Amino acid sequence: MEENNAGVATLAAAPPKKHNKFVQYFIDLGNRIKSWFVDKYTAIKDFFYGFTKAGREEKKARMGEGPQLSRGERVRRWMKSQSGWLFVAPALILMAVFTFYPIIASFVNSLKQNYSGMTGKFNGWGFDNFVRVLKGDTGTGGASFMQCLVNTLLLTFISVPLSTLLALLISVALNSIKRIQKAYQTIFFLPYLTNALAMGAVFATFFKIIGTTNNTETVGLVNIVLGWFGVKPIDWVGLTSPHWQIGSLSIPWAKYIVTIIYEVWSGLPFKILILFSAMQSINKQYYDAAKVDGASRWTVLWKITAPMIMPQISYLLVTGIMGGMKQYSAIVGLFGETMGQNYDMGTMVGYLYNYIELGQTGYAYAGSLLLFIIIMIITFFNNKITKRRTTYR
Amino acid sequence: MSGQLLNSTAGNWVVAVMVILIIAGIIASIFLSVRICRMVRESRAPAAKVGAWDLSAGDAGFNAEREKRMDKTRHIIKNIFVYVFLTICAVLSFLPFYWMIISSFKTEWEFRQSVPTFFPHKFQWKNYWMIFHQTVAGSGSTATFEQILINTLVVGLLSTFLGLVIIVITAYAFARMNFKGKNMLFALMLATMMIPGELYTISNYITVAKAGMTDSYTVLILPFLVSVYYIYLLRNNFMQIPNSLYQAAKVDGLSDLGYLLKVMIPLTAPTLISITLLRFIGTWNSYIWPRLINTEPWQMITNWVTNGFADTRQAMSPWGANWTMYNGAFGNQALDSLKMAAVCMVSLPLLLLFIFCRRYIMRGVSKSGTKG
């Protein structure tokens, strides 16, 4: 008995060889690939089995179980079951022309050298467009891609966290008061729906040097306020706006500040709305429990409120960054259609439109694909980060 | 300097209020920081004290009176700080609207004063007449405000209505019908949401220009009729309607179309209203596509607002062709006071819409994170 047991034990104790993690990964990968091929093979075999004589007879036998229908009736029934296609047809046709075709066309046409959209003429295939766009060697006096990329990234990654932080502060403050909360709410939500071009023009009047009357410079509101502290008027949005030069890149910091202030202002209402409603929906029991435990206000904020609204914060950062990568109309509203002087405030989207208007469609396609790739990379990182963060719920 | 600013006009109480608020904010923050420092110091020297408990004094050490007082003071200070902070933020966030509205009534002389006024001396309604009856400066086109407004309304209404029809029937097919390849098609449509819309613009521009459709309403409407996000939103709404309702309707002899019109649409009305509003706002704010594809008489209101408005002699004013407001003192310069009037014309409808339909607009936006 004893011996027998031991024998079983030795049999069971011969497990598959333990591999280290690295090797195991490739073994699993191999197994997965193998099973994928096996599945496909079975599916194909089954499919062709339907055409063999045995298969056809089997099918006939199966059909025989139900009521026998005439061929016409069967076709009519099938047509009726597929009538959903009729409903999606308008959307499908429009999307085929205005969505699916452009996606394919941009991949194909970006590889055509010296491509002109209107005539359809091009000289040969290659990655010439991409190289020229990245080098800034387009030879048409349009915007520079690197400048646009740096502008877009800097503006987005400064203004989005800034406005989220400010929105967080305001909604915490809004959440802690009781009287006239509704009135504050209304005022904060007012800039929610605004026309970027219209409001950009208003912001430009705050910052610009308006003109000269009686040989004295008249300046906008911001310069007047700065004047109280002895700061000389700065040309925030105009032609003589100050900037730093780094190689071929120029960093027009004054225009950056104007843009960031505008974007924080225009992004606030949506962010306050989301954060404030998230805070309102936190169960009051948590706060009562914290009060009983004698937690300080600060502890409550960081240990209860912040974790509970973490999903909303990461959502706001994601949508904010996505929107920021595509900013354009605010820049036009503030600095006009040339996007500052020599396109020094150009953005990625502005780059595309600039080259469409110059008739250099190939560069526009290459630029749009680069924008697409950058957005994909950001989406990828966002997904990684948000997946980790949203597990508080 | 601020004294000069305060004395400049009668309406400058606004500045006074702002200055007072900011000063109050600074005072409150100083007060608070002193208070916090003291609290920190107290907490650092606990030796015989834990909070309000004075351990050295035995059981009698709990000073309830003192604790209550401290709590109350802390509460009041916190409230002052919060209200001041909120008020400063609210003033700053409302300031652009206020500035836009008052500037639109100022004369250009007043607008250019070296010391700005916070309330117009005299309301100049002629600013609005000027922009309504002016062809766009310098372009030589015949696009007046009426023409632009008609364009915007026609395109807005048509694209909203047609778009809504397409969205509803597509969402219905995806939610209620079964056909081969349904799920694959839906996945394909959702996948296009990841691609930035700017990618399409270039090809669409070429397609439309080659088809010779420029300078028309069609070209403003067609490319944006289908909106995958709204289809997705409405499909989810449709799928929430219980299946038993469908069977009940069938028993009552309602056709599929009748079910869609009489049951599903009324039940999802809030979502449909949000979609309608957001689409209309989207058209109102559309700028890039009309600028790219159409010449001025066919453009939209947002294109109109980016123009420079001058005190030109060619203005088709109701007071005669050669009427000007400033006797040609500004020549052909673009005037900011006129521009502000135009900005008001574009922004105020949006503000009013938001105030009156806030619930519907927010319902649609809070999920997508995009406006229009």
pLDDT of residue B46: 47
Domain-located, residue B227: yes
pLDDT of residue B370: 42
Domain-located, residue B45: yes
Q: How far is CA B195 from CA A183, A348, B192, B228, B335, in A?
A: 39, 15, 5, 12, 40
Mean pLDDT taken over chain B: 79
In contact, A111 and A125? CB cutoff 8 Å = yes
Domain-located, residue B138: no
Mean pLDDT taken over chain A: 83
pLDDT of residue B8: 45
For residue B336, list chain A residues with Cβ-Cβ distance below 8 A. Answer: 205, 210
| Residue A390 clears pLDDT 50, i.e. is over it | no
The reply to whether A198 touches chain B by the CB within 8 Å rule is yes
Both structure tokens of A372: 């697409």
Q: Are residues B118 and B171 in the same domain?
A: no
Contact A195 B346 (CB under 8 A): yes
Question: Which chain A residue has its CA at the smallest distance from B103's CA?
Answer: A202
Out of A358-372, A377-391, B43-57, B156-170, the most confident range is B156-170
Nearest alpha carbon to residue B207 among B195, B188, B222, B196: B222
CA atoms of A168 and B170, how far apart (whole Å): 39
In contact, B249 and B318? CB cutoff 8 Å = no
Q: At what angle do helices B64-105 and A196-207 cross, to 10 degrees?
A: 100
- Domains in chain B: how many in total? 2
> Which uninterrupted H or E stretch holds A329?
helix A329-335
Contact B202 A88 (CB under 8 A): no
Contact B350 A195 (CB under 8 A): yes
pLDDT of residue B263: 87
Contact B83 A369 (CB under 8 A): no
Identify residue A160 by its one-letter amino acid code.
Answer: V
Q: Are residues B199 and B292 in the same domain?
A: yes
When mean pLDDT is compared across A176-185, A273-282, B45-54, B113-122, the lowest value belongs to: B45-54
Range of the domain at B118: 2-124
Q: For A205-229, what is each residue's pLDDT tens digit? A: 888 877 665 556 677 888 888 888 8
Q: What is the DSSP letter of A17?
A: P
B324: domain CATH number is 1.10.3720.10
Q: Are residues B192 and B311 in the same domain?
A: yes
Over residues B126-147, the mean pLDDT reads 71
Question: Which chain A residue has its CA at the smallest distance from B286's CA?
Answer: A195
ipTM confidence:
0.78
Over residues B143-150, the mean pLDDT reads 83
Both structure tokens of B288: 């890039």
CA atoms of B318 and A375, how far apart (whole Å): 52
Out of A34-38, A333-337, B239-243, the most confident range is A34-38
**pTM score, two decimals?**
0.79
Q: With pLDDT > 70 as the criterion, what percentage of chain B qualifies?
A: 80
Q: Are residues B227 and B283 in the same domain?
A: yes
| Residue A239 clears pLDDT 70, i.e. is over it | yes
Q: Are residues B161 and B285 in the same domain?
A: yes
Domain-located, residue B139: no
Domain-located, residue B129: no
pLDDT of residue A179: 79
Q: Are residues B152 and B185 in the same domain?
A: yes
More confident residue, B104 or B132: B104
Over residues A224-236, the mean pLDDT reads 82
When mean pLDDT is compared across A173-177, A288-292, A385-389, B294-298, the lowest value belongs to: A385-389
Q: Which of A78, A83, A88, A164 to mutate to test binding with chain B, by most B CBs within 10 Å of its CB? A: A88
Domain-located, residue B134: no
What is the band of A1 on the pLDDT scale with cuts at 50, 70, 90?
very low
Q: Are residues B267 and B329 in the same domain?
A: yes
Q: Which residue has the tokens 């639109």?
A: B104
CA atoms of A169 and A175, how far apart (whole Å): 10
For residue B180, list chain A residues with Cβ-Cβ distance below 8 A. Answer: 82
For residue B310, list chain A residues with Cβ-Cβ distance below 8 A. Answer: none
pLDDT of residue A158: 93
Closest residue to B199, CB basis, from A103, A219, A337: A103
pLDDT of residue B121: 82
Helix (H/G/I), strand (E/B), else coil: A245: strand
Contact A199 B96 (CB under 8 A): yes
What is the band of A65 on the pLDDT scale with cuts at 50, 70, 90?
low
Question: Which chain B residue has its CA at the smallest distance from A318's CA?
Answer: B369
Beta bridge partners of A218: A211
Closest residue to A193, CB basis, from B79, B196, B361: B361
Residues 215-234 of A with CB under 8 A from B: 216-219, 221, 224, 227-228
Q: For A54-64, what is each residue's pLDDT tens digit? A: 887 877 777 66
Nearest alpha carbon to residue B5 among B93, B138, B145, B116: B116
Contact A102 B182 (CB under 8 A): no
When mean pLDDT is compared across B34-43, B44-53, B86-95, B325-334, the lowest value belongs to: B44-53
Q: Are residues B81 and B173 in the same domain?
A: no
H helix runs in chain B, sequence order: 2-7, 13-44, 64-105, 108-111, 126-132, 145-176, 182-191, 198-210, 218-221, 228-240, 243-251, 256-259, 265-267, 269-284, 288-293, 301-305, 336-356, 358-368
Closest residue to B292, CB basis, from A81, A118, A356: A356
Q: Are residues B161 and B294 in the same domain?
A: yes
Both structure tokens of B129: 């007449």
Contact A94 B222 (CB under 8 A): yes
| Residue A13 clears pLDDT 60, i.e. is over it | no
Domain-located, residue B136: no
When mean pLDDT is compared across A166-170, A261-265, A298-302, B86-90, the lowest value belongs to: A298-302
| Residue B244 clears pLDDT 80, i.e. is over it | yes
Half-sphere exposure of B320 (CA within 13 A, CB side): 4
When mean pLDDT is compared across A2-16, B36-50, B181-195, B353-367, the lowest value belongs to: A2-16
Residues 117-146 of A with CB under 8 A from B: 117-118
Q: For A292-323, what is each residue's pLDDT tens digit? A: 888 777 788 888 888 888 888 888 888 888 88
Q: Are residues B109 and B249 in the same domain?
A: no
In contact, A354 and A346? CB cutoff 8 Å = yes
For residue A101, list chain B residues with Cβ-Cβ distance below 8 A. Answer: 203, 207
CA atoms of B116 and A18, how far apart (whole Å): 80
Q: Are residues B171 and B249 in the same domain?
A: yes
Closest residue to B200, CB basis, from A102, A170, A337: A102
Burial B130-165 (b: 16+ CB within 10 A, else e): bbbbbbbbeeeeebbbebbeebbeebbebbbeebbe
pLDDT of residue B90: 92
When mean pLDDT is compared across A162-176, B23-37, B127-141, B223-237, the lowest value belongs to: B127-141
> Where a domain ends, among B69, B93, B124?
B124
Domain-located, residue B99: yes
The reply to whether A377 touches chain B by the CB within 8 Å rule is no
Q: For B247-289, what is each residue's pLDDT tens digit? A: 888 888 888 888 888 888 898 888 899 889 889 988 998 888 9
Q: Are residues B171 and B49 in the same domain?
A: no
